[in-house]
Amino acid sequence: MPNMSLKKVPMPEQEPNVRNKNFEEVALGYTAEMAMEEAARCLHCKNQPCVSGCPVNVHIPEFIAKVAAGDFQGAYDEIALTNALPAICGRVCPQENQCEGKCVRGIKGEPVAIGRLERFVADWQMENGSDKVEKPVSNGHRVAVVGAGPAGLTCAGDLAKMGYQVSIFEALQTPGGVLVYGIPQFRLPKEIVAKEVGKLVQMGVDIEPDMVIGKVDSVDELFEAGYEAVFIGSGAGLPSFMNIPGEDLLGVYSANEYLTRINLMKAYREGYDTPIAKSKAVAVVGGGNVAMDAARCAKRMGAETVYIVYRRSMEELPARAEEVHHAKEEGIIFKLLNNPVKILGGEDGRVNGIECLEMQLGEPDASGRRRPLPVEGSNFVLDVDTVIMAIGTSPNPLIRSTTTGLEANRHGCLVADDAGATTKEGVFAGGDAVTGAATVILAMGAGKTAAESIDAYIKSKN
């Protein structure tokens, strides 16, 4: 008999007033008993709507059945058939819009907690399973991957399994992309990313850090060096600004820079002297997941007051509901229907306030969301000493500007077909570099598709 409880088995969490002062993981994970109880909520629907909601088609009912039976290694093996980074996906995928959004149990009550179960299984395997990975037999063909984010790592892993000799060229010193420099430690511990990357290295994938393609070598030079195909998974790390007065003041950061200083350069750890503002009051401009992460980091770095300044209302706020809920619990103040017009500075060149306008919502715009319109004369000032801009990012133009025949659209995203093939022969691309800022699992899905296309391409040439 399935467990017919309308609610998910709750996930234990650190208390809000404790966790907003540390960088330890917020959600603590299920115990084996909790996981088995939650797994018993699955109805094992014949048509498996949850699977169609998952961009990499994890065999969801099959792995959940194994969890319910206490066969955790079997559950892991089932997940690993289609997902190379389950400990990461279980933590950061927007399941509410994907697998869980399609779960039949969600029609009347809460869906099965597929993400929490995936996380439990992956963590169990890391602690109890074997971490030995078989090195596949080489087929003698070489592929270069640019960027060690989820798209590049997935593409490299799938190609390595097929026997390709894969080299990943990564601009930063640590592989993982946004998983290491963007998403904070309290949502995704970096040790988990390192372990998943370690498995790829065991499979024979060679990772070359501090290699900015387009500067050290160009894509054309990679072909000259003997690589038969190139996958570009260089993400969308170029931050946007509002172009309002005061953005050049000291104390104004892009969210990417702020988060990189904290996550990759470990500004939050004692013993690291990474320069970062010691803020008292912070305004984070934007309403997406990146804004929530920046605000929650600022709080943990010791800021007394942290505002989210967003020009629309809560209904249009794009961040995941769970992240907004956590941010509110941790004391972040939401200034909704407010838009910055000017950042104010003192004689010392430092931020000492942000001037905003109140907004009201008009008719829907091209995005389908109601357009924010300024309320004339409603200007007010928030006293802050730091402003973090989290209003979006786009792909860096470096690679396309140094590669012959590689086309991009007007947003700077590389043009690629559904199979990941770009406009240049032998060059494939996927993830944020093609779609613009999206999600981890979509980037992984694109890496997977491109690996299959690269395999077919190289076979067609030999």
CB distance 401 to 214 below 8 Å: yes
Instruction: Please identify, among the stretches 97-105, 230-238, 290-298, 311-319, the one whose residues bind ligand SF4 according to the rule CB under 6 A.
Output: 97-105
Contact residues for 429 (Cβ-Cβ < 8 A; gap 6+): 231, 232, 233, 414, 416, 420, 422, 450
**Please, how many CA atoms are within 13 Å of residue 34, restricted to the half-sphere of its CB?**
19
Contact with ligand FAD (CB under 6 A) among 60, 67, 93, 276: 93
Task: Give whichever of 260 and 338 is closer to ligand FAD, judged by the CB atom.
Answer: 260
Binding partner of 395, given ligand SF4, ligand FAD, none, CB within 5-8 angstroms per partner class: none
Report, in Å, the least distance between residue 85 CB and ligand SF4.
Answer: 20
Place of tokens 């030995």: 132
Task: Give whichever of 256 and 352 is closer to ligand FAD, judged by the CB atom.
Answer: 256
Contact with ligand FAD (CB under 6 A) among 290, 337, 416, 454: 290
- Measured between alpha carbons, how far is 442 from 112 in angstroms, rounded to an integer? 21
Identify the bridge partners of residue 75 per DSSP, sorted by sequence position. none
Contact with ligand FAD (CB under 6 A) among 146, 308, 450, 451: 146
For residue 104, state whether it binds ligand SF4 (rule: CB under 6 A).
Answer: yes
Identify the bridge partners of residue 113 per DSSP, sorted by sequence position. none
- Measured between alpha carbons, how far is 334 from 7 in angstroms, rounded to an integer? 28
For residue 325, state whether it binds ligand SF4 (rule: CB under 6 A).
Answer: no
Instruction: Please identify, among the stretches 176-184, 355-363, 376-384, 451-459, the one whose residues bind ligand FAD according to the rule CB under 6 A.
Output: 176-184
Contact with ligand FAD (CB under 6 A) among 150, 157, 286, 353: 150
Instruction: Please identify, among the stretches 109-117, 178-186, 331-339, 415-423, the one whose residues bind ligand FAD according to the rule CB under 6 A.
Output: 178-186
Task: Give whichever of 30 and 457 is closer to ligand SF4, judged by the CB atom.
Answer: 30
* Total binding residues toward ligand FAD, as defined by CB under 6 A: 42
Task: Give whichever of 323 and 358 is closer to ligand FAD, judged by the CB atom.
Answer: 323
For residue 264, state whether it binds ligand FAD (rule: CB under 6 A).
Answer: no
Contact with ligand FAD (CB under 6 A) among 53, 55, 90, 147: 147
Contact with ligand FAD (CB under 6 A) among 242, 244, 264, 398: 398
State the binding string over 47-76 for ligand SF4 (x if CB under 6 A, else -). -xxx---------xx---------------
Find the largest Cα–Cα distance for the chain.
71
Report, in Å, the least distance between residue 174 CB and ligand FAD.
Answer: 8
Report, in Å, the least distance between residue 108 CB and ligand SF4.
Answer: 12
Identify the bridge partners of residue 213 per DSSP, sorted by sequence position. 217
Catalog residues that contact ligand FAD under the rule CB under 6 A: 92-94, 146-152, 169-172, 177-178, 182-183, 211-214, 233-235, 237, 259, 289-290, 293, 396, 398-399, 431-433, 437-441, 443
Catalog residues that contact ligand SF4 under the rule CB under 6 A: 42-45, 48-50, 60-61, 103-105, 111-112, 114
